[in-house]
Amino acid sequence: MSILEIISIILILGGLFFFFTATVGLIRMPDYYCRMQATGKGDTLGAVLCLSGLALYNLDSGLSFANIIVSIKIMFIAIFIFIANPTATHAISKAGIDCEVKPWTKKKEVQS
Amino acid sequence: MRYVIVFIILFINWVIWSGLLDLFHLSLGVISCLIVTFMSHDLLFKRKTFKWSDISEAFRFFAYIPWLLYQIILSNIHVAKIVLKPEMPIDPDIVPYQHKLKKDISITTFANSIILTPGTITALIVDDKFYVHCLDKKVAEDLLTGEMEQRVAKVFGEDK
């Protein structure tokens, strides 16, 4: 196993871990906005880590022109996710505010 | 001049995405890049004139990205800790935040950065106010110190 392979395995495992916590958060969080907190962050880092792991793994089979081009394309996908994911998170939570979804707070639970 | 720069940027993109360097694909690329340049050259650069500060702005933006990545990793560890604890220690609230940024691009960058940093998401933007949903009191206080706003303002040259 080469060093590149080991690094890419570590990156992909890290990405999968953050995907996992994002999913657990999506299920466990109490309300709409808190669910967005978990997915908006976990998905971004998870996807970026997985894709950079894939790009490195792709370079492992030799530094030819075609390989480098494919890795650059994979990194472009990562950059697009990096920009689009927070924007989508904001759009979804704005939709929640526009529809007057009440945020969950600790105080209310104590009062009721 | 603007046409030439837009054409070069588009053509570099074409070559990267197609990856084929034979005459047929390159000439197809030249033709389509010319058409796109002709139709939408004003979308990429708003101003007609060129300023040297644009380049330094781009460099400062690239210097901002590592700090942002570090914040993203911190925020993911923060969320992972909260989510994996059985009692789930959260105290969410929506906090208004008054910002002083002027340019559209810096407001967008700042809003996206807020979403990616620990425990906060920008829920609503009204004029010069962000309504930020915070996961607990500590991250709300961290946000209200305005450290990140200063960093964004520095990147886009608004800290005068």
Chain pair A-B, CB pairs under 8 angstroms: 101
Number of domains in chain B: 2
Whether residues B65 and B40 share a domain: the answer is no
Whether B55 maps to a domain, the answer reads: no
Res A112 pLDDT > 50: no
Contact A31/B at CB under 8 A: yes
Say which of A17, A25, A93 has its CB closest to residue B121: A93
- Look at B131 and A97 and tell me if their CB atoms are within 8 Å: yes
Whether residues B109 and B136 share a domain: the answer is yes
- pLDDT grade for B160, boundaries at 50, 70 and 90: low
User: Phi, psi (5° rounding) for residue B45?
Assistant: -120, 120
Six-digit token string for B107: 């407001």
Beta bridge partners of B129: B98, B126
DSSP B49-78: S--HHHHHHHHHHHHHHHHHHHHHHHHHHH
A65 chain-B contacts, CB cut-off 8 A: 19
Res B123 pLDDT > 60: yes
What's the pTM?
Answer: 0.79
Least confident of A16-20, A55-59, A69-73, B38-42: B38-42
- Give the number of residues written for chain B: 160
- pLDDT at residue B48 in the model: 66
A103 chain-B contacts, CB cut-off 8 A: 92-94, 133
- Look at A103 and B115 and tell me if their CB atoms are within 8 Å: no
Instruction: Give the ipTM.
Output: 0.76
A97 chain-B contacts, CB cut-off 8 A: 123-124, 131
Whether residues B93 and B27 share a domain: the answer is no
Say which residue the tokens 């909260």 belong to.
B82
Whether B105 maps to a domain, the answer reads: yes
The residue range of the domain holding B36 is: 2-44
- List, for residues A90-108, the tens digit of each pLDDT value: 888 888 888 877 777 776 5
Provide the shortest C-alpha distance from residue B123 to chain A (in Å). Answer: 5
Angle in degrees, CA B152, B65, A11, rounded to 5: 150
Cβ proximity of B133 and B87 under 8 Å:
no
Whether residues B23 and B99 share a domain: the answer is no
- Look at A34 and B16 and tell me if their CB atoms are within 8 Å: no
The 3-state DSSP class for residue B124 equals: strand
Whether B50 maps to a domain, the answer reads: no
Give the C-alpha separation, A76 to B49, whole Å. 29
